[in-house]
Structure 1
């Protein structure tokens, strides 16, 4: 939490003096599931400093909330998940001014490193930094209105929040290059075809579908959920032999946990497990 608080202080340079940034991200708890709403619908939920700051604060809080096991993120309004970064906010910066913003702790890394599963529920525009935010999540659920794109090339820029790295690991270099070099948007069915979206659902049902998936995940041990996420992430970064060794150690960690003992005992005794997250 100290690290997150320190970063929050740094991010305040992007928040207008006297502004109340708290309402730009809302949180509702449904059992062991936290539903996070990005709440700038008039700006298509564009990622300005206030939204980034508050989302980092919220994710840091949820990461240590023992009652929360899975997180769902979606955008408010009818038109967008996140339509990208707030270009007006950085348009006047020099390279020297942009450099510390680029290298500080960012929302993409906070999502990716969250110890709990994070699901993106996507509708409408999911572009630029919004696409990178969705890709940083563990699973993406999209409705039929979703439109994805890395449009930075249209501005003479390149993706800077994972659009050349996480996206490549998710859909492969060919598809990542197609998106980032063309600046074209792809629709929900194409995103599902190339593996950018794991679940494609009917229009307007994305949040319900994501929450339903989150509830199914949240039935299980928080220890196991964390270790699965860590192990799969490792697969994208390590050679196979190293990844298999990592998996063995995480299996033994789960095997030795209280939840691991409880799950095995419940199976043998033919009863539902009572996982405590230990």
Structure 2
């Protein structure tokens, strides 16, 4: 199986399982990943999703498969479809990265809400060395995440960066000891899953829109979602619980 789905309470864990190919994104794996996300989004018991890879995260596209791609094939196949599927996921998506997340693998983490990486992980977009560029939104999401100047550096040179540098420039959320990224991602997912599901959904939607709309539109959306959060009915009971814990006898 090129893909594994596990469940840990309210957490769905999706594992890329082609370690012999460093989890390169074959057509089969891309299709399986999209199907896994569909399954977990439909599952009401799943509150957050962790995306990881067996042994390493993902070393990009399957180069062997790409040898047969010509212009007609590239135009006919929607390589960005799976990328769009990840980006539109309504549940929090957390990447747990060990080893390489380069090329298509880097595009995957750019579509996640949180990225937790072992300190020895490597990131980058080396596609330029093959005479091409990202085809799944990498240039656009990278520039939005780290800014134009830094994105140009990575895209035009094709150099790889360490997890420490990736955290410093805002490409990933945080670093942890090598070998602990999955556990740390599951811990973060559990923290998210403990919050009211509607509040998580609204907060994710607001932050997602912050990078794609103007400030006025973003503020208007935030206000609307803020008001909707009261209508959902969770705020006042949780506020009372919080105040009770703070009281002298709480």
TM-score of the aligned structures, taking structure 1 as reference length: 0.84
1:160 is aligned to 2:160: no
Give runs of aligned pairs for residues 65-144 of structure 1, distance below 5 A: 65-77=43-55, 80-102=56-78, 106-144=81-119
Which residue of structure 2 lines up, in the alignment, with residue 40 of structure 1?
Answer: 18
**How far apart are the structure 2 equivalents of 1:125 and 1:72?**
17
1:191 is aligned to 2:169: no
Q: Deviations over 1:219-252 (max 9, x none)?
A: 0011111111111010001110110001111112
154-163 or 93-102, which deviates more: 93-102
Give runs of aligned pairs for residues 110-259 of structure 1, distance below 5 A: 110-259=85-234
Per-residue deviation at 1:109? Answer: 1.5
**How far apart are the structure 2 equivalents of 1:198 and 1:95?**
37
**Distance change >3 Å, CA 69–CA 154, structure 1 → 2:** same
Structure 2 residue runs of 5 or longer lacking an equivalent are: none
**How far apart are the structure 2 equivalents of 1:223 and 1:101?**
36
Per-residue deviation at 1:98? Answer: 0.9
**How far apart are the structure 1 equivalents of 2:235 and 2:36?**
29
**How far apart are the structure 2 equivalents of 1:37 and 1:140?**
15
**How far apart are the structure 2 equivalents of 1:229 and 1:180?**
28
8 Å CA contact 1:120–1:137 kept in 2: the answer is: yes
Alignment match of 2:2 (pick from 16, 21, 24): 24
**How far apart are the structure 1 equivalents of 2:27 and 2:197?**
31
**How far apart are the structure 2 equivalents of 1:260 and 1:100?**
49
Q: Deviations over 1:181-204 (max 9, x none)?
A: 001111111111111111111111
1:57 is aligned to 2:35: yes
* Count of residues in correspondence between the two structures: 246
Structure 1 outlier segments of 4+, above 4 Å: 268-271
Q: Deviations over 1:4-60 (max 9, x none)?
A: xxxxxxxxxxxxxxxxxxx21111111111111110000000010111111111101
Per-residue deviation at 1:83? Answer: 0.1
Per-residue deviation at 1:174? Answer: 1.0
Per-residue deviation at 1:262? Answer: 4.0
Q: Secondary structure at the match of 1:102?
A: coil
**Distance change >3 Å, CA 265–CA 256, structure 1 → 2:** farther
**How far apart are the structure 1 equivalents of 2:233 and 2:63?**
48
**How far apart are the structure 2 equivalents of 1:259 and 1:160?**
42
Per-residue deviation at 1:121? Answer: 0.4
